[in-house]
Structure 1
Amino acid sequence: MAEIRDPENTLIITLADGEVIVEMLPEVAPEHVARIKTLARAGEYDNVAFHRVIDGFMAQTGDVAHGDMEDGFNIRRAGTGGSKHPDLPAEFSRLPFDRGVLGMARSSNPNSANSQFFIMFKDGHFLNGQYTVWGRVVSGMEHVDAITRGEPPAKPDRMRSVRVAADTGADA
């Protein structure tokens, strides 16, 4: 596991194959990082599916309204919901969408990000300045690469748990 420098701004996403360690960037997207931490601390991301996974592009998850349902009907609805919290205003930056970057998903309205996010498999600089960057994978990218592809995947992978490192006692 990677060294955790700032436990309060480190996210531990547990997937079937292992842990993904994410450095959150509150100096770049303070409202988005605060939302991710709120949802993680409430257990809202636990068992949520990766409902849109495009090979060579990204893996999207975080629909806390629909993404934890087991039956196919609700999995098909995954990607259409958010959390009980209001949508967030965009926090666009100059940080590029490189491999391993986490960005917030949204509708065509730039101020519609809520709970859904995506992890880049490869560089996607066409997204630069149009979506909010809030973190980057610092360890465990091989587990992200192993996520089952599909829109939605026939048998989607899930985030087993999502925790803020400060709440786990993890420090190295």
Structure 2
Amino acid sequence: MLRWILSSFLAISLLLTSCSNSSNVAASASPTASTTSAAAKPSPTKVAEATPSNSPNSQEAALAKFVQLKGTATVDLKLKSGTVKIELDGNNAPVTAGNFADLVKRGLYNGLNFHRVVKEPTPFVAQGGDPLGNGTGNFIDPVTSQPRYIPLEILPDGAKQPVYGEILPPTQKPKLRHNKGAIAMARSQSPNSASSQFYIALDDIYFLDGSYAVFGYVTEGMELVEKIQVGDRIESITITKGEENIKQPT
């Protein structure tokens, strides 16, 4: 139990350190990452305006501003050691899964590396998806030439609609939990700062539940994920099923 507590404290300490150094890296940027420029930081005003209200009456209209995955999709993550299959859950995390699926479709992840892998003192995460490769980058929308951020999206267990822009209280569990093999979006201290960086849980890391948005799970090839080292490249990520479920903003 003591070892688990110390491991959790270390993981969270790294997270907080990285967040203080970079405003756009999530769940796990390198603690030595350089501070990003002000232009690359999320704008609190714009994020607040883009965050869907948790009122059912206004949520649907607000969600229309984001790419969504209406259903499920399957992606193949090709590594040098083989192919990992991941199922994206757009039923329970439509905005988060939709953002990832859209970036996969754009080919953003092809050739990027895993810039952070934590296995000691206990397995934690393998994180990648940074276009800069150092834990400080985001997806830059070619239309606006600005970073694209999405709101924190978590569906409480037993609820019908996700909660947006809010961390769940410790007493409330999410439907999509940080089981081993979960894929989730990395972010900074701001709940609404996830962009392109993602991580895969190398073990059950439930202390992140309710604070970071899980949007799918590894279904095949977890043994390959466990072998990922810092610097390993993503040869490609492709959608093999469910691409028709991606809905662009209206």
Return the TM-score normalized by structure 2.
0.56
> What secondary structure is seen at the aligned counterpart in 1 of 2:184?
strand
Change (3 A) 1:166 1:18: same
2:197 corresponds to which of 94, 112, 116: 116
Note the alpha carbon deviations across 1:96-143, whole angstroms, 9 max, x for none. 201000010000001100100000010101000000011100000011
Give unpaired runs (5+ residues) of structure 2.
1-70, 142-147, 156-173, 244-250
Return the TM-score normalized by structure 1.
0.80
* 2:76 corresponds to 1:19: no
Q: What is the 5 A alignment of 1:31-50?
A: 31-50=95-114
RMSD across aligned C-alpha pairs, in angstroms?
A: 1.7
Give unpaired runs (5+ residues) of structure 1.
1-6, 68-77
Q: What is the 5 A alignment of 1:1-150?
A: 9-55=73-119, 56-64=123-131, 66-67=132-133, 78-85=134-141, 86-93=148-155, 94=174, 95-148=176-229
Count of residues in Structure 1 that have an aligned counterpart in Structure 2: 145
Q: Is the 1:28–1:133 contact (alpha carbons within 8 Å) kept by the matching residues of 2?
A: no
Higher relative CO (Cα under 8 Å, sequence separation at least 6) belongs to 1
Q: Is the 2:74–2:242 contact (alpha carbons within 8 Å) kept by the matching residues of 1?
A: no
Note the alpha carbon deviations across 1:13-66, whole angstroms, 9 max, x for none. 0001000000101012111111111111111100110000000101000112x1
> What secondary structure is seen at the aligned counterpart in 2 of 1:99?
coil
Which has the larger share of helix? 2
Note the alpha carbon deviations across 1:65-122, whole angstroms, 9 max, x for none. x12xxxxxxxxxx110110142101112312201000010000001100100000010
What's the % identity of the aligned pairs? 38
Give the letter for the 2:139 counterpart.
S
Distance 1:8 1:138 in 2: 13
Larger Rg: 2
Q: Is the 1:28–1:91 contact (alpha carbons within 8 Å) kept by the matching residues of 2?
A: no
